[in-house]
Structure 1
């Protein structure tokens, strides 16, 4: 970046990060601005709130040489006002029209996409733009937040040529954004208002956690904030998946903290699937005699218990689980700080059987420590008798710890080998640990970056995934979602596309899933144009919108 004298200006950190994100997204600086040809909803909540404000802004812009652009939460331009016709033609020649996509993944660093990415107002001046076509402009972008949910509803941008940059951009645009936010609150959808009203009627109750959860809104009283976490929000939503409006359910559940609670779940009529939850913690009763039916521990609790017992024992240990389930981590947990030698059966293909066996025998001759043999399901039958002898003699030599694939997939010879181990640890596949996925994901995120937090919608989507790659797959997904984000929130839209299916979709019946797939296919065929898609499907556009909402389809 250079100033008018040709001296290089220091690059602001937020701009440098944005350029890095732009390059990682594969944006070409010489590319034209992408335009979304899909039809726009003129009755959207954002446009209803913004149109009167933009009308007033247009009067104030007259003769200034500036324009103001409005983009939705997908960073697509949905409205614009200009000081005069000349400015309008100039901006349109750059490719800035209704439907233009200004997300950083499409247009690089700019005053619509970058504020959306970082969650706050940003100035982008001249050469700071990533696209060459925008470098002659000076722009200021201000996010528009819903006053209740604090979710970004859109972005407001003020643009002029570089030589006309003015520090008054900021207060002018901030005031306009505040006016739109006020109208958003006043014009909140009736469905959201019904959910808010239901929450306000009961939120004052003491010692009872009250939460109202809808597609775009989450309200909690102080007790709920202390008692519930993200994993609980996902569990609560699953309680009302099969309820009709005005239906209720009373159940006892175990919260993520391990505490028991009685939950009354009420599906609110006219609230677009929103529900009210009253959560009352229960005291665990102390029976005078030993109970014969105790609470079933979660898979994670069983794993921690089995690993603790294995650490305390001196016998051979067999750890079984699917690929990516954490077998090596579990083995490391058992080994602890004890000196250990590691031998992976996959190395036989590279080192040769004789060399691999020689290394193993050398390690086994020690009188102490641990010998870890990984992936024993890959061992050739010829070495199994020797491994069996090592297990049987482990009381007098180094301790043997083995890892293998899932028990159900093991050949009889390997299953027989593992049966010689006195300590057995079986790791449950991630798809069978749905109640723990949100907690596991949050712990992984904190390992990536301590300030990152998983939203309820993202946690729900992760819970609905099938996870054939188990924890290893989850870790990859979270790394992709985290990326170089400046925001500390990981929302469902930050997840890779294949992982954005919600619990609501996963519970659809076969016919509904087929209908959902047909609608998605039609929208894809028509480039997202809902008018053309409805014609292809043989239904009205209003019916298409209704079914898209019911089947959780977003475009």
Structure 2
């Protein structure tokens, strides 16, 4: 092959060189010794399936095909816009279970992204094998967020006359969603393990680092190269020994010889191991457990800062999101004086204003004004005057997105927006346990199907709705774990709406928030969103919004 024949792109040129060294020749076909039996319930497939289904709808009747392969190049999934494209791929051997590596199929948008760990366009003549040169392809690697471990490759391909520029944004969005879904499949303990693994790897690239727990193992490059499967099994067994004192140095017989291993406990059965070389000193091992930072952690930190700070506080949130509990948390006083704006409707404006003035004049450390979004303009002015005159700290609660109280907000030093329950889905198990503990119920375990049913719900009434469901469960349950049959029937159906991608979920939350802000008025919502009413109705239907 002459210099004139080789591609200009350096990634493609190096791939051609590797293909030649592997003994391939451009005139040969794709080498498939046998088809492997694929695990279609793997973590990658479970994370990618909803995204692939959405892409299939976009590809229908098009000239494009879509492939998903694992990190070894085995094809897990394929879909084509037409039966003609599918038949042509069958003839080439592009079928589920076939392995695409540069040693078996040369330069293409599955094998080459695996080698380069980058997105790769392969345009027609850039394919090493001539049988693939009527196609343009674009492949993107899929990584595990945090560890950058290669999980697989997604590839889109079409005939040479199609524009490759159309492919990149489609796949980039899909990969972003798949990577996030992969991360969401981890439990809190597994995410904590991942974060501890990342911290251990920083600054120690040459040191083998392994993080293990019963269902997951993370290794850095040095560990993957120098440790064998028997070593990993030994470390996993060691991590399960809860009586072992962690944080110290332990001598272990590994395949690379006897080595000093530093151990950091992360969870009951999860730990991070750093394998020292003979010439290396002992790096510091953090004694504190590394823990995944949740939405609830951020909220607790904001409430604590507001509690320790001076000045008035505004707490906003959807109905049922815990506004009153948050207000009490900020005041740190269960006997704090509370006045509710809804009383102005019952008692009249003058009586409510007099009660507010009385509170403001008392020698109080703080007091709470609930539901200030219900006040009319005149009473908001009265409230603002009271806040300016009182020596007490005023803690206000309000619904979300209420522009009418903007003047009040400017007089508050701390403004906290409470997350809705649907925004804390990864924490649902711990939230359920906390609510049960508040009722004096301990050691009650929800089975996976029972929790999955609760996770599938949107919780429009937030924590109050969940508390109501738990009350029903406790009343109906006899003994043992809480199973799916113990969940109220209306909550048992999984997937009350279809799984949404990251962009769709953001759209769903935005439309819901605006609708709540305008009390369900779709005309006003469309105006605020800058779209037509028909578009709003269409998007609401597509996203499963009532």
Q: What's the TM-score once normalised by structure 2's chain length?
A: 0.41
Say which structure, 1 or 2, has more relative contact order (CA 8 Å, 6+ apart).
1
